[in-house]
A and B are shown apart, each in its own frame.
Chain A
Amino acid sequence: MKKNILFPVLLATAVVFSIFSFTKIPPLAKVHKNTKPGADNAGLTLPKGFTASIVANNLGQVRHIAVTKEGDVYAKLARAKNGKGILFLKDNNGNLEEQSGFGDYGGTAMRIHDGYLYASSNTDVFRYKLNNKDEVTDPSNSETIVTGLLDRGEHNSKSVTFDDAGNIYVNVGAYSNSCQVQDRTPGSMGRPGCPILDSAGGIWQFKADKADQHYGDGVHYAIGLRNVVGLDWNQKDNALFVMQHGRDQLHDLFPQYYDAKISSVLPAECMYEIHEGDNAGWPYIYYDQIQKKQILMPEYGGDGKKTADKKYVDPVIAFPGHLAPNDLLFYTGNQFPEKYKNGAFIAFHGSWNRSPEPQAGYFVVFVPFKDGKPTGKWEVFADGFAGAKDISSPGKAVHRPCGLAQGPDGSLYVSDDVKGTIYKIVYNKK
């Protein structure tokens, strides 16, 4: 039954694109003119009552974004463009005007917290002082908060979130798919006592306001998380929630246990509620959303059926495999209908390792929450980013959702790291 979970999604995408496939988005230079919400919703399909517009375009590879209390936007680029890795876009009656750029490094994180703008490179976390209008007062003067985190290419992006007790949480992704002796090599077995876990594949907690912290200054908050790009603090539950990118290539590496079809949906992409000391089990287990069980990884003696001896943390919700959750946001605004309050929005980047099945998951999903727990099934909130009905390879996706932010009026902003488009989604009260 769970196998069919993607079918309605693909069908919805198909329907939408038969309607919106002729939408053309004009390229915009320095001034990012707002597209009119309404008629075409910037090519997106949304629940009834919501509209979308493009508020910025062609910015570069925009990873995470932050919206200020004035409605201005900071965008973090994966690679610095003309020596600028952070863009400041000022709101001018709904248009975003590119005001300035600073920070000569690529990276992912972009969050506003307690009077500072936080940004990450692939090794460090920096912050910039903001004035009372949330503008960076001295862009050339950043403070290094965390330094020397591991970057070995694979899964090297660093994302951040904050609790209310003065701490910042930083993910360090594992520089490996499944801790094989030879990464991504057919039949190669898992490294005993996976040594990657000592400095990657987990979440670290640091002080949000202390300079130059290294691994040793922080708390190794959670382990066994292969790669987290989206994480957020849930205020209702007073706990950290993370989205894990599950492992790839079960069929390629262990065809004796997995056919291509099952490998296109396994293992689950998982949302975890994380408390200090938790272990989510990578690389020893994965979560199978069809059997609803923790399954032993084939690299560590598994065969697709064997369960683990040791129990690891179970996900609070499990999605089909390979959809690549790149941001998580608990909605605290008042603009959207009541059901969205305190629920989770997730920006899925879309898959690459589902072949020969079509790629999937270039969308933003919503999960209703109550008191810090999911109360129902996940649903597709915004779809149509990829720009075509069938995406056979990820290079064909026109846009891929990557970052989420909530505006001061409760609007939802979504960034795209292909074309550097920023979408603004609003609810129109009747």
Chain B
Amino acid sequence: MTVVLLFPLMLALMGMKNDAAREIRRPQPGVQKSLAAGEKIYKKYCLTCHQADGSGVPNMTPPLMQTSFVLGDKEKLINIVLNGLKNVDIDDQTYNNPMPALGSVLKDQEIANVLTYVRNSFGNKAAGITMEEVKAARVKSK
């Protein structure tokens, strides 16, 4: 009786564990697609300044590798793409070239894709960004 009751419970637990593990290992649904689309956007709009390896240009363009700006608060990051950034020191370094405001150039889904790509490239590993998050940030920053 106990065995009969425990067996499905164990199965259920094992299943949960597997699902949880898979969730961490594998990107969230849609992220793969987002990465591929994001890479195209990166090459077209970001690569010249931030470079193919995300290393940036010393004193001009900040790197995208392992910085709090990229890996930290999503809304802050989305706002940099939407509204640009200028004359802000990052980790005690000055970068003189401005980040253009791309809010009028890129659609919400494109921004979500490119940021998902950046947050999962150049050695970065962070949660993807969704179109809904970009949309919400856009409304809020208006």
List chain A positions with a Cβ less than 8 A from chain B: 61, 78-79, 152-156, 182-187, 248-249, 252, 352-353, 355-356, 392-396, 418
Q: Which of B3-11, B71-79, B100-108, B124-132 is found at the contact surface with chain A?
A: B100-108
Indicate whether B141 reaches chain A with its CB closer than 8 angstroms: no
Q: Judging by beta carbons under 8 Å apart, are B53 and A185 in contact?
A: no
CB-based contact A355/B105 at 8 Å? no
Contact status A252-B45, CB under 8 Å: yes
Is B52 in the interface zone, CB < 8 Å from A? yes
- B18 at the A interface (CB under 8 A): no
Given contacts A249-B48, A252-B45, A252-B48, contact A156 B96 (CB under 8 A): yes
5 A-B pairs with C-beta separation under 8 A: A78-B59, A185-B100, A186-B45, A352-B60, A393-B51
* CB closest residue in chain A, given B46: A252
Quick check: B98 and A353 within 8 Å, CB to CB?
Answer: no
Taking CB atoms and an 8 Å cut-off, the chain B residues in 30-63 that contact chain A are 45, 47-49, 51-53, 55-61, 63
Q: Chain B's nearest CB lies how many Å from the CB of A209?
A: 31
Q: Is the CB of B52 within 8 A of A393?
A: yes
Of B55, B101, B104, the contact of A395 (CB 8 Å cutoff): B55
In the A-B complex, the 4 residue pairs with the closest CB atoms: A393-B51, A185-B100, A395-B55, A352-B57
Question: A418–B59 Cα gap in the complex (Å)?
Answer: 10
Give the distance in Å from the alpha carbon of A418 to the alpha carbon of B47 in the complex: 22
**Bound Cα distance from A79 to B93, whole angstroms:** 10
Establish whether residues A184 and B96, one from each chain, have CB atoms under 8 Å apart when the complex forms. no
Contact present for B105 and A186 (CB under 8 Å): yes
Name which residue of chain A comes closest to B61, CB basis. Answer: A352
- Which secondary structure dominates chain A's binding surface? loop
B2 within 8 A of A: no
Question: Given the interface contacts A353-B49, A355-B51, A393-B53, does A154 sit within 8 Å of B58 by beta carbon?
Answer: no
**A356→B52 CA distance, assembly (Å):** 8
Report how far A275 CA is from B60 CA in the complex, Å.
31
| B97 sits at the interface (CB 8 A) | yes
Q: Chain A contacts of B58 at CB under 8 A?
A: 394-395, 418
Interfacial residues, chain B to chain A (CB-CB below 8 A): 45, 47-49, 51-53, 55-61, 63, 86-87, 94, 96-98, 100-102, 104-105
Please give, as numbers and ranges, the residues of chain A lying within 8 Å of B45 by CB-CB distance: 186, 252
**Minimal beta-carbon separation of B51 from chain A (angstroms):** 4
Question: Are B98 and A393 in touch, CB under 8 angstroms?
Answer: no
Q: Would B87 and A152 count as touching, CB distance under 8 A?
A: yes
Q: Is A395 within 8 A of B52, CB to CB?
A: no
Q: How far is the CB of B64 from chain A (nearest CB, A)?
A: 12
Contact of A153 (CB < 8 Å), options: B52, B87, B100 = B87
Question: Chain A's nearest CB lies how many Å from the CB of B63?
Answer: 7
Minimum Cβ distance to chain B for residue A202 (Å): 19
Judge whether A184 and B98 touch: CB under 8 Å.
yes
Give Cα A395–Cα B101 distance, bound, in whole angstroms.
Answer: 24
Q: Compute how far the CA of A182 lies from the CA of B98 in the bound complex, rounded to whole angstroms.
A: 10
Complex CA–CA separation, A356 to B47 (angstroms): 9
| B98 and A396 within 8 A (CB) | no
Write out the residue numbers on chain A whose beta carbons fall within 8 Å of the beta carbon of B94: 79, 153
Whether B105 pairs with A185 at a CB distance below 8 angstroms is yes
Chain A min CB distance to B96 (Å): 5
User: Across the interface, do B57 and A395 meet the contact criterion of CB distance under 8 Å?
Assistant: yes
Known: A183-B100, A395-B57. 17 other contacts (CB 8 A): A78-B59, A153-B94, A154-B96, A182-B100, A184-B98, A187-B105, A249-B48, A352-B57, A352-B60, A352-B61, A355-B51, A356-B52, A392-B51, A394-B51, A395-B58, A395-B63, A418-B58
Residues of A within 8 A of B86 (CB): 153
- Closest-by-CB residue of B relative to A400 is B58
Closest Cβ of chain B: how far from A276's Cβ, in Å?
29
Q: How far is the CA of A2 from the CA of B49 in the complex (A)?
A: 26
Bound Cα distance A153, B93 (Å) = 13
State the CA gap A392–B56 with chains docked (Å).
11
Interface centre among B47, B60, B96, B102 (most CB of A within 10 A): B96
Inter-chain contact A396/B55, CB cutoff 8 Å = yes
Residues in B whose Cβ lies below 8 Å from that of A418: 58
Closest to A173 in B: B96
A248 to B105, CA, bound (A): 19
- Complex: A217 Cα to B57 Cα, angstroms: 36
Docked complex Cα distance between A155 and B98 (Å): 11
Residues of B within 8 A of A355 (CB): 47-48, 51-52
B52 near A155: Cβ-Cβ < 8 Å? no
Question: CA separation between A79 and B61, bound complex, in Å?
Answer: 17
Residues of B near A395 (CB, < 8 A) are 51, 55-58, 63
Contact B48 A183 (CB under 8 A): no
B100 to chain A: which residues have CB within 8 Å? Answer: 182-186
Select A182's contact among B48, B57, B61, B101, beta carbons within 8 Å: B101
Task: Say yes or no: A185 contacts B57, CB within 8 Å.
Answer: no
- Complex interface: chain A residues within 8 A of B56 (CB): 393, 395
Task: Name the contact of B96 in the complex, choosing from A153, A182, A356 (C-beta under 8 A).
Answer: A153
